[in-house]
Amino acid sequence: MKTNLLDFDLDGLAAFCLQLGEKRFRAVQLFRWIHQRGAADFSAMSDLAKSLRDKLDGCAVVASLPVVSEHVSADGTVKWLFDVGGGNAVETVFIPEDDRGTLCVSSQAGCAVGCRFCSTGHQGFSRNLSTAEILAQLWHAEHALRRRLGTDTRVISNVVMMGMGEPLQNYAALVPALRAMLDDHGYGLSRRRVTVSTSGVVPMMDRLAQDCPVALAVSLHAPNDALRDHLVPLNRKYPLAELLDACTRYLAHAPRDFITLEYCMLDGVNDSPAHARELVDMVSSRQGAGFRCKFNLIPFNPFPASGLHRSPDRVVQAFAQILVDAGIVTTVRKTRGDDIDAACGQLAGEVMDRTNAVDRMARQRTIPLKPVH
Ligand code: SF4
């Protein structure tokens, strides 16, 4: 079987080239052809020696993912559904803005964490994506968008690992993909513009700080353990105190001087003024230890199986105001791509669940979610 070169960061590709008897600078050339120029055909790589191109033809391939569908929203958002085999498909979303182009990338087919408000979580988990499957989403999106816009310059300036899956539960495949995104011979993205979003896999947050410290977003969604246990089941393993301590440790290595805390606003569940004040206390009590954060309030995108509803705008604004009045930087996420189900929490893809998530979620729905105050 041929080796897919999308599976490598530059060091990995250099090791592969070494096996072929080729020096590192050849790997750099190859890496630039693949990631900067979007080339998949070795015969087009004109500055590589013919002998190397012949070798590569015999043992390697640049294989992206088959596109099942592509939808373009009225607001310019693009959503791709990629086939990853075995009846699974993952989603990737491009969000254009005036000053940036952001790609939301999936890391797993499904997700085992099972957050109550997340449509991916409701689909269960099938498997981790490989590095090639993670990078192929960026490779395809970047070069398809360049062709469409008729430009040679970079279209995607930011990547957020916020699509399907918990990226830190697929750490071994994630890190080489991040390195290719950051590499000046690859996509050359700034560490500040590549964000890993986690529901709080504490040991892996510590490893990421050492191995590849990019911007970090944490799916918080609740101000106390009692509520977070229900909304984000991983909290039972890594409760809030441990999670926030890990955030503080991460900040010593992070490219930004704050952690983004994501907070999905659920009507009557986690959106009261008392919840906001509890968050203020939580943040203030940790500032002395060096904890710095920014809140991103996310309007919930309802889907029938969740049994949950979106907080009214006035409730979201009042909640935000309490945080802002306490001096905490707070934004409310604009919903984008609503018309193509590309908004946050709507990425569903197709997952051959191996975890009985549907039954598990149905049982959870019998637990009433009520404000704890
Ligand atoms: S919010 Fe993230 S961690 Fe939670 S179920 Fe959805 S994809 Fe998984």
Domain boundaries along the sequence of the chain: 3-61, 67-365
Choose between 335 and 132: higher pLDDT: 132
Q: Provide mean pLDDT across the span 339-367.
A: 61
The pick from 118, 170, 216, 301 for probing ligand 1's pocket by mutation, whose C-beta has the most ligand atoms within 8 angstroms, reads 118
Q: How confident is the model at residue 136 (pLDDT cuts 50, 70, 90)?
A: very high
Mean pLDDT computed over every residue of the chain: 92
Q: Give the Cα separation of 248 and 251 in Å (integer).
A: 5
Q: How confident is the model at residue 264 (pLDDT cuts 50, 70, 90)?
A: very high
Is residue 91 part of the annotated active site? The answer reads yes
Q: How confident is the model at residue 187 (pLDDT cuts 50, 70, 90)?
A: very high
Which atom in ligand 1 lies closest to the alpha carbon of residue 121?
A: 5
Q: How far is the CA of 27 from the centre of ligand 1 (A)?
A: 36
Return the exposure string of 338-353: e unless at least 16 CB atoms fall within 10 Å of the residue's CB, then b: eebbbbbbbbbbbbbb
pLDDT of 372 > 50? The answer is no
Q: How confident is the model at residue 359 (pLDDT cuts 50, 70, 90)?
A: low
Cα-Cα-Cα-Cα dihedral sign, residues 71, 72, 73, 79: positive
pLDDT of 368 > 50? The answer is no
Q: Give the Cα separation of 164 and 168 in Å (integer).
A: 12
Q: Mind giving me the DSSP string for 219-264?
A: E---SSHHHHHHHSGGGGTS-HHHHHHHHHHHHTT-SSSSEEEEEE
pLDDT of residue 186: 98
Greatest CA separation for the chain:
71
pLDDT of residue 84: 95
pLDDT of 213 > 90? The answer is yes
Q: Provide mean pLDDT across the span 303-314.
A: 92
pLDDT of residue 342: 61
Q: How far is the CA of 250 from the centre of ligand 1 (A)?
A: 21
Crossing angle of helices 202-211 and 240-251, rounded to 10°:
10
pLDDT of 340 > 90? The answer is no
Q: Provide mean pLDDT across the span 109-118.
A: 92
Report if pTM > 0.85.
yes
CATH of 3-61, one of 1.10.150.530, 3.20.20.70, 3.30.465.10, 3.60.15.10: 1.10.150.530
Contacts of 208 (CB under 8 A, 6+ apart): 168, 171, 175, 196, 214, 216, 250
Q: How far is the CA of 352 from the centre of ligand 1 (A)?
A: 16
Q: How far is the CA of 51 from the centre of ligand 1 (A)?
A: 46
Share of the chain above pLDDT 70, in %: 91
Give the closest residue (by CA) to ligand 1 atom 7: 165
DSSP single-letter state for residue 324: H
Binding residues, as ranges, are 111, 115, 118, 165-166, 197, 219-221, 301
The pick from 93, 161, 162, 166 for probing ligand 1's pocket by mutation, whose C-beta has the most ligand atoms within 8 angstroms, reads 166
Q: How far is the CA of 117 from the centre of ligand 1 (A)?
A: 9
Binding residues for [4Fe-4S] cluster, as ranges, are 111, 115, 118
Which listed residue (17, 247, 264, 344) is catalytic?
A: 344
Which listed residue (22, 91, 133, 262) is catalytic?
A: 91
Closest C-alpha among 208, 278, 206, 281 to residue 248: 206
pLDDT of 360 > 70? The answer is no
| 68-106: pLDDT as tens digits | 999 999 989 999 999 999 999 999 999 999 999 999 999
Q: How confident is the model at residue 61 (pLDDT cuts 50, 70, 90)?
A: very high
pLDDT of 17 > 70? The answer is yes
Choose between 61 and 352: higher pLDDT: 61
CATH of segment(s) 67-365: 3.20.20.70
Ligand 1: residues with CB < 6 A are: 111, 113-115, 118, 120-121, 164-166, 199, 219
pLDDT of residue 333: 87
